[in-house]
Amino acid sequence: MVYCDPPYKGTTNKYYARKFDYDAFTEWVEANKEKYDIYISEYKENFAQWPSNYEIVWEKESCQQMAKRKKTTEVLIHAR
């Protein structure tokens, strides 16, 4: 089993020195999903950007920006 926690799509973070390559990451997941059980953390509003054969296996409402109380739903996606 592989758990992946890339930066959520559409977010910025001062801790990342460079932009995360989602296309390369998705290609890696697609190339390896038959070898490994791959799970990816993401926001629910970004789920539609993942391949259609992936599925949400867990979700929980949370605050994206605590100071602003912006609510979102975090999901765990299984690459099928």
Q: Which domains does the chain have, with CATH numbers?
A: 2-78 (3.40.50.150)
pLDDT at residue 8, rounded to an integer: 83
- The ranges of the chain with pLDDT < 70 are 12-17, 64-69
% pLDDT > 90, the chain = 66
Work out whether the CA dihedral 76, 5, 27, 14 comes out positive or negative: positive
pTM, full prediction:
0.83
pLDDT at residue 12, rounded to an integer: 67
Distance, CA of 3 to CA of 70 (rounded, Å)? 26
